[in-house]
């Protein structure tokens, strides 16, 4: 069997698997009902936690958005942990002390690999809320954000609630492409929960019971990985309580943040996210990731051979790419509608192939060597 024939066979197999996975994930998204508040009172004490490092340009806006929440103030606690910032981040946080914002400053020196997990653990140890809600220092949210999440938490009896994170305020075409791609990622996380097999979430909008955090041993066992305060902790909870992990399908529950302004910043972020994959324990999650990566590897390989063995592979490569675009369109269209960003769908054909190329690279680069995160070299 020639190399081209072997590639064609592999591409056919992985295309079938990938299309099946995307359609299965689409099913998961539609299995989650939309959530709407009905005006009921909330009673849960909440601690909103933020880990911040060198965020002087963003942290004030984020704190203001949280202080503007319609959530009862007597049930709300805000704790911001400054992670060795070298700018005015700590001073800005401290300026909100008279409005009830608590500042915790880390003083650990340069000896850890996962400062963010330490920051969150330190904040939780001093928190009083029954429900921990984490977000990032560069996020924005509407006034009903917290009320929506907590209402959903109380109505469903969830132990962990993942909620939407959406890019906004794009300044370039590259950032708009990221917005579309990020909707795909958020949709995958929601779909996994909808299908009863939680795979991923985003710590920029994550809530969980404080007692469950301690029951799971906090970040013990995953604290040597720089990233993963969200996804790897989700996997710990899913081992025991997969049915108590929910996704709040409401635009009112969304937080908004910024895409990366440069290709290098984007690649560094994705390498950080990919670095968590070596710590996955759930074989279903591992095989999901491997299957997606293998399909994209086959597609990129076929694209390369397209220019060498054109008569033999052009129709198969074209068919696989077309099927990829169509399946992803079926999946991401309802997500664009949910986010109110239907105009982004025009970018899907370009994104679909570009996504395959960078995913193959990130799948390897994210699991070897170190990467930059907030001015630190971590692994």
Domains recognised in the chain with CATH numbers:
33-172+193-258 (3.90.550.10)
Strand 371-373, strand 245-247: pairing: unpaired
- The answer to whether 42 and 122 are in contact (CB under 8 A) is no
User: So what's the pLDDT on residue 187?
Assistant: 95
Dihedral pair phi/psi, residue 185, rounded to 5°: -65, -45
Evaluate if residue 10 carries a pLDDT over 90: no
Q: What average pLDDT is seen over the chain?
A: 88
* From 54-68, 103-117, 298-312, the region with the lowest mean pLDDT: 298-312
Evaluate if residue 331 carries a pLDDT over 60: yes
Q: Which residues contact 73 (CB under 8 A, 6 or more apart)?
A: 100
When mean pLDDT is compared over 77-81, 283-287, 369-373, the highest value belongs to: 77-81
What proportion of the chain, given as a percentage, has pLDDT over 70? 89
User: So what's the pLDDT on residue 316?
Assistant: 79
Which is nearest to 137 in space by CA: 210, 228, 244, 65?
65
User: So what's the pLDDT on residue 293?
Assistant: 87
Evaluate if residue 371 carries a pLDDT over 60: no
Q: Which residues contact 215 (CB under 8 A, 6 or more apart)?
A: none
- Length of the chain equals 379
* From 2-11, 39-48, 170-179, 305-314, the region with the lowest mean pLDDT: 305-314
Evaluate if residue 366 carries a pLDDT over 70: no
pTM of the model: 0.91
User: So what's the pLDDT on residue 215?
Assistant: 95
Q: What Cα–Cα distance (Å) separates residue 157 from each residue in 151, 152, 163?
A: 10, 8, 15
User: So what's the pLDDT on residue 268?
Assistant: 84
* From 163-172, 185-194, 243-252, 301-310, the region with the lowest mean pLDDT: 301-310
């Amino acid at each position: 069997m020639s190399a081209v024939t072997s590639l064609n066979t592999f591409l056919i197999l992985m295309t079938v698997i990938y299309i099946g996975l995307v359609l299965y994930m689409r099913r998961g998204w539609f299995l989650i009902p939309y959530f709407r508040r009905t005006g009921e009172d909330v009673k849960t004490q909440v601690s909103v936690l933020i880990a911040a490092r060198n965020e002087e340009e963003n942290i004030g806006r984020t704190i203001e958005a949280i202080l503007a929440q319609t959530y009862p103030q007597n049930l709300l606690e805000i704790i911001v942990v400054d992670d060795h910032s070298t700018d005015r981040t700590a001073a800005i946080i401290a300026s909100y002390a008279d409005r009830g914002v608590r500042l915790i400053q880390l003083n650990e020196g340069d000896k850890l690999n996962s400062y963010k997990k330490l920051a969150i653990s330190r904040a939780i140890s001093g928190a009083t809320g029954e429900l921990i809600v984490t977000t990032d220092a560069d996020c924005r949210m509407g006034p009903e954000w917290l009320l929506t999440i907590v209402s959903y938490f109380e109505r469903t009896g969830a132990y962990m609630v993942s909620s939407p994170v959406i890019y906004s305020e794009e300044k370039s075409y590259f950032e708009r492409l990221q917005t579309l791609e990020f909707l795909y990622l958020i949709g995958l996380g929601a779909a996994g929960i909808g299908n009863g097999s939680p795979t991923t979430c985003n710590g920029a909008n994550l809530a969980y019971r404080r007692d469950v955090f301690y029951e799971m041993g906090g970040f013990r066992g995953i604290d040597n990985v720089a990233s993963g305060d969200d996804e790897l902790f989700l996997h710990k909870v899913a081992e025991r309580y997969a049915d108590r992990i929910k996704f709040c399908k409401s635009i009112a529950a969304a937080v908004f943040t910024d895409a990366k302004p440069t290709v290098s910043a984007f690649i560094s972020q994705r390498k950080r996210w990919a670095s968590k994959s070596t710590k996955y324990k759930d074989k279903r999650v591992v095989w999901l990731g491997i299957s997606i990566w293998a399909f994209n590897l086959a597609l990129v390989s076929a694209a390369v051979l397209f220019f060498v063995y054109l008569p033999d592979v052009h129709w198969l490569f074209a068919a696989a790419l077309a099927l990829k675009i169509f399946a992803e369109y079926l999946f991401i269209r309802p997500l664009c509608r949910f986010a109110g960003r239907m105009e982004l769908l025009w970018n899907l054909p370009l994104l679909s192939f570009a996504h395959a190329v960078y995913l193959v690279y990130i799948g390897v680069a994210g699991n070897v060597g170190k990467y930059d995160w907030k001015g630190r070299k971590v692994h």
